[in-house]
Amino acid sequence: MTRVEIGQAVRRQEDFRFLTGRGRYIDDIDMEGQARGVVLRSSHAHAVINSIDVADALEAPGVLLIVTGRDWIAEGFGPMPTKSGVRKNRDGSELHEPPRHCFAIDRVRYVGEPVAFVVAETEAAAIEARDLIVVDYDELPAVVDGVAALKPGAPRIWDDIPANLCLDFELGDERAVDAAFGKAAHVVTLDLVNNRVTAVPIEPRGCVASYDPETETFTLYNATQNVHANAATFAENVLKIDKDRLHHIAPDVGGGFGAKNSAYPESPMALYAARKLNRPVKWINSRIESFLSDTHGRGQTSRVQLALDGDGRFLALRTETVGGIGAYCWTVGPFTPTAGSARTQGGPYDFPAIYYRGRAVFTNTAPMDPYRGAGRPEATFQIERIIEFAARKLGFDPVELRRKNLMPPDMLPHTTPMGLNVDCGDFPRVFERTLGLADQAGLAERAGSARRRGRRFGFAVAPYLECTGGGPREYAGVGFRAGGAISLSVGSQSTGMGHETSMAQLLAARLGVDFERIEYHQGDTEKTPIGGGHGGSRGLEIGGNAVAQAADEVIGKAKAVAAHLLQSRTDDVAFAAGVFRGSGASVSMAEVIEASFDPKLLPGNLSPGCLDTGATFERGEVSVPNGCHAAAVEVDPETGFVEVVGYWVVDDFGTIINPLLADGQVMGGIAQGIGQALSEEIVYDEDSGQLITASLMDYGLPRADGVPNMVIEYYQGAPTAKNPLGVKGAGEAGCVGSLPAVVNAVLDALKDDGVRHIDMPLTPEKVWRAIADPNAGGPVDLMGDVL
């Protein structure tokens, strides 16, 4: 048995299960008598559906059911709503929200949109029948770029939505920014693209649905990040039933990164089919279908403007962004290019004035929804790119320009012009420590070594400031069993980040019991009354504090039992390090737990089970993680190939519960950032709207040899007072700082070649072409006449 503490690098206890093939993922779940479902998806980006002929498909061997959009509407099922936290336009009017049904109804609006659901005895039979369905389409013009969708004459995706505009949002003081720009010594402007990407979790989406006609209840196993919210959407909004009739369970989930947070249409399809056929129905997405139908992220085109005085002090920042969100609002799609990217504008710098305008625009593409960071990486990339660009253009040293504009510690707490309460931190200290880890003094020597090998060397530093998000309430339940086992059920959810270890570690340390006694439960609507799942780096900030609160309540209850055993008054009993002390004697928490099952050892007002506890924690304000990244790269000018040769990070996550798990989160986020910076991009054909990057042969995921060793440290001198544990979310920070660190390092390497800007991803071809002709690729006017 093992005792653990907060801050200890406890190894992940779930890894033995995963590494020995004992994990239970969605495709491992099979129910007796189950049928298999497949989806017929639109082959057009924009078209009218004249008819759907399923006659031959219904006659195919093994076919049990075929459902189309018209069938769906006839059943009276409803659309899935957006839950975007921003719904008002700049003029106070409501955002435009078209109905999002599980199927295309009379018109398809992106390649991959569901047109029919086929259920058969086997997956092979369902696929054969799907190929026999004949859809008569009248193709319509499509638009796949957000800026192009705003322009006069662009194809209208929804007849009743002018200019394809979903939401026009602003934040900040436009007049103050205009005034600052008017008196500035320098105004620097840069148009840039934050490329559209997708999560590509190692496990594709899938579900298994069943129905019990006797109780009229459903069970849904689903590869999802958020069982409670999605169960409510599927039950109440779509199927029009009480959510208590749907038991929603997430087994082990092989990665999510935001893409499995959304409410997708396939689960309601499977639930309906299970009830219609009175047998379980299983659906598993293929990898190519995942590229077509999973949510995408990022996808913004922005104009960023920085005003500076003659000494390089920042006076104001103006950012105007257009985000193409796909054909629907999806779950929270309009949020990311609007408030999601506005909150952390300006980063950790002392900006007197900031103005942000973001527009969410409909396009004939797959849906956009949160992807790891959901706005904060976009904001950090915008500010760090314009700073680097301004430094090169105006002759400032990029490191010194950042140094002189960072918020000093005595400025905190501070409310930024975006309304974000930055309560604590030491940005200059973190900045200098990162430069120290990177050995800034040795950069010239490394650059010389690279030149002698025919390579260009580049270095960049990127401070960042972000904030957490996700649902503000979380539940943790602690139950005790005779024999010593302790059940911990939490409404937040791991999709591979180690909650089974960190949450158990937190409870075990708080109670002073053996770590191995904790049995962890998550992702089950019957295990917790509420749950916010995973998203917004909320795991320990919300879920961890719920566990700590539940532990404290257990301790409070256990004091009464301990006092009885010690023949002391409850007020005279103290608890520390797993031991209750009073009247010169002591008793351990383990002994108290054991005594709680024996009525003879309990005070008269208590009965067995008296220590079981459920606690709900509610966050007040979001925490503000921050830190600094630095990257070193080498570029081969003959091929344009970029190698990341060094990476250093200092993060301020407040209290670190488990540094080993924190390291994993940082590394994973950085790897995804490197992927987006150098190779990943979702590309649609501009004319047809066809997805060009629809497989792993076309979509450039980072490989192991492209991710460098990383030096990671934590600054814990500023735990936040916004929650009892003092934690600041860690899950998305790696993505936030890595984009500008890598891109700016590449541009530093190419500065002597005259290259000032390249839009992500910085593929070898792009880099090679930029070296060959520095004026060909940018900076260019990307926003045109839509501002």
Q: What is the mean pLDDT of residues 626-630?
A: 98
E runs forming strands in 466-553:
473-480, 486-490, 518-521
Eight-class DSSP state of 545: H
Q: Is it true that domain 15-22+475-618 has CATH number 3.30.365.10?
A: yes
Structure tokens given for 441: 């003094």
Query: In the structure encoding, which two tokens stand for residue 244, read together?
Result: 């208590």
Cα-based distances in Å from 296 to 135, 303, 540, 592, 681: 27, 22, 26, 51, 10
Angle between helix 398-405 and 427-437 (nearest 10): 150
Which DSSP symbol is given to 654?
Answer: B
At 147 the three-state DSSP class reads helix
Q: What is the pLDDT of residue 784?
A: 78
**Which stretch of DSSP H or E encloses residue 770?**
helix 764-772
Q: Which residues have CB under 8 Å from 663's CB, separation 6+?
A: 712
pLDDT band of residue 782 (cuts 50, 70, 90) is: confident
Give the list of residues 6+ apart from residue 189 with CB closer than 8 angstroms, or none.
303, 304, 305
How far does CA 291 lie from the centroid of its chain? 17
Q: Which residues contact 350 (CB under 8 A, 6 or more apart)?
A: 314, 405, 406, 407, 408, 411
CA distance 651 to 660: 14
Q: Which H or E run contains 579?
A: strand 579-582
Q: From CA 213, how far away is CA 215, in angstroms rounded?
A: 6
The answer, yes or no, to whether residue 385 has pLDDT greater than 90, is: yes
CATH architecture designation of domain 31-140+205-255+260-293: Alpha-Beta Complex (3.90)
Q: In 3-state terms, what secondary structure has residue 15? A: helix
Cα 545 to Cα 475: distance, rounded to the nearest angstrom? 9
Question: What secondary structure does DSSP assign to 415-482, as a single string?
Answer: E-TT--EE----HHHHHHHHHHHTTGGGHHHHHHHHHHTT-EEEEEEEEEE----S-SEEEEEEEE-T
- 294 HSE (CA, 13 A, CB side): 34
Q: What is the pLDDT of residues 404-435, one digit of tens each?
A: 999 999 999 999 999 999 999 999 999 999 99
Name the average pLDDT for the chain.
Answer: 97
Q: What is the DSSP string of 63-96?
A: EEEEEEHHHHHHTTPPPPPP--S--B-TTSPBPP
pLDDT for 689-740, tens place per residue?
Answer: 999 999 999 999 999 999 999 999 999 999 999 999 999 999 999 999 999 9
How many contiguous H segments (helices) and E segments (strands) does the chain have? 20, 28
Q: Which pLDDT score, from 0 to 100, does residue 779 have?
A: 78
Residue 386 C-beta-side C-alpha neighbours within 13 Å: 31
The 10 Å Cβ neighbour count of residue 781 is 11
For residue 149, pLDDT beyond 80: yes
At residue 101, the pLDDT reads: 98
Which positions ≥6 away from 285 have C-beta within 8 Å?
A: 204, 205, 206, 266, 293, 294
Sorted by sequence, the CB contacts under 8 Å of residue 193 that are 6+ apart come out as 300, 301, 302, 759, 760, 782
Segment 586-620, tens digit of pLDDT = 999 999 999 999 999 999 899 999 999 999 999 99
User: CATH 3.90.1170.50 spans which residues of the chain?
Assistant: 31-140+205-255+260-293
Q: Which two tokens stand for residue 44?
A: 């057009």
Q: Round to whole Å and give the CA distance between 25 and 224.
A: 11
Which pLDDT does position 777 carry in this prediction?
Answer: 65
Query: If DSSP codes are grouped into helix, strand and coil, which group holds residue 399?
Result: helix
Residue 787's pLDDT band, with cuts at 50, 70 and 90, is confident
- What is the average per-residue pLDDT within 262-279? 98
Residue ranges in 311-355 assigned as alpha helix (H): 341-342
- Quick one: pLDDT at residue 780? 80
Cross-strand pairs, 247? 219
Q: Residue 233: which residues within 8 A CB-CB, separation 6 or more?
A: 80, 81, 263
Helix, coil or strand: residue 61: coil
Tell me: the pLDDT tens digits for 89-105? 999 999 999 999 999 99
Alpha carbon distance 726, 722 (integer Å): 7
pLDDT tens column, 180-191 = 999 999 999 999
pLDDT recorded at residue 774: 86
CA distance 161 to 140: 17
pLDDT reported for residue 783 = 86
Cα separation, 36 vs 55, in Å, equals: 19
Quick one: tokens of 511? 């109670």
CATH of domain 296-468+622-786: 3.30.365.10
Residue 771 contacts residue 641 (beta carbons within 8 Å)? no
Distance of alpha carbon 293 from alpha carbon 264, whole angstroms: 9
Which amino acid, one-letter code, is at 143? V
Residue environment code for 77-101, b if the CB has 16+ CB neighbours within 10 A, otherwise e? bbbbbbbbebbebeeeeebbbbebb
pLDDT for res 317:
98
pLDDT value at residue 781: 84
* pLDDT at residue number 196: 98
**Three-class HEC string of 228-286:** HHHHHHHHHHHHCCCHHHEEEECCCCCCCCCCCCCCCCHHHHHHHHHHHHCCCEEEECC
38 strand-pairing partners: 118
Distance CA 291, CA 107 (A): 21
**Amino acid, res. 634:** E
Q: For the chain, where do the domains classified as CATH 3.30.365.10 start and end?
A: 15-22+475-618, 296-468+622-786
CA atoms of 295 and 82, how far apart (whole Å): 14
Radius of gyration of the chain (CA): 28
What tens digit of pLDDT does each residue of 634-655 get? 999 999 999 999 999 999 999 9
> Measuring CA to CA, how many Å separate 108 from each of 69, 102, 115?
11, 12, 8
Percent of the chain with pLDDT over 90: 97
658 pLDDT above the threshold of 80: yes
Asked if residue 458 has pLDDT above 70, the reply is yes
654: left (phi over 0), alpha (psi -120 to 50) or beta: left
Residue 509 parent element (H or E): helix 499-511
Residue 541, classed as helix, strand or coil, is helix
Inter-residue contact 750 to 456 (CB < 8 Å)? yes
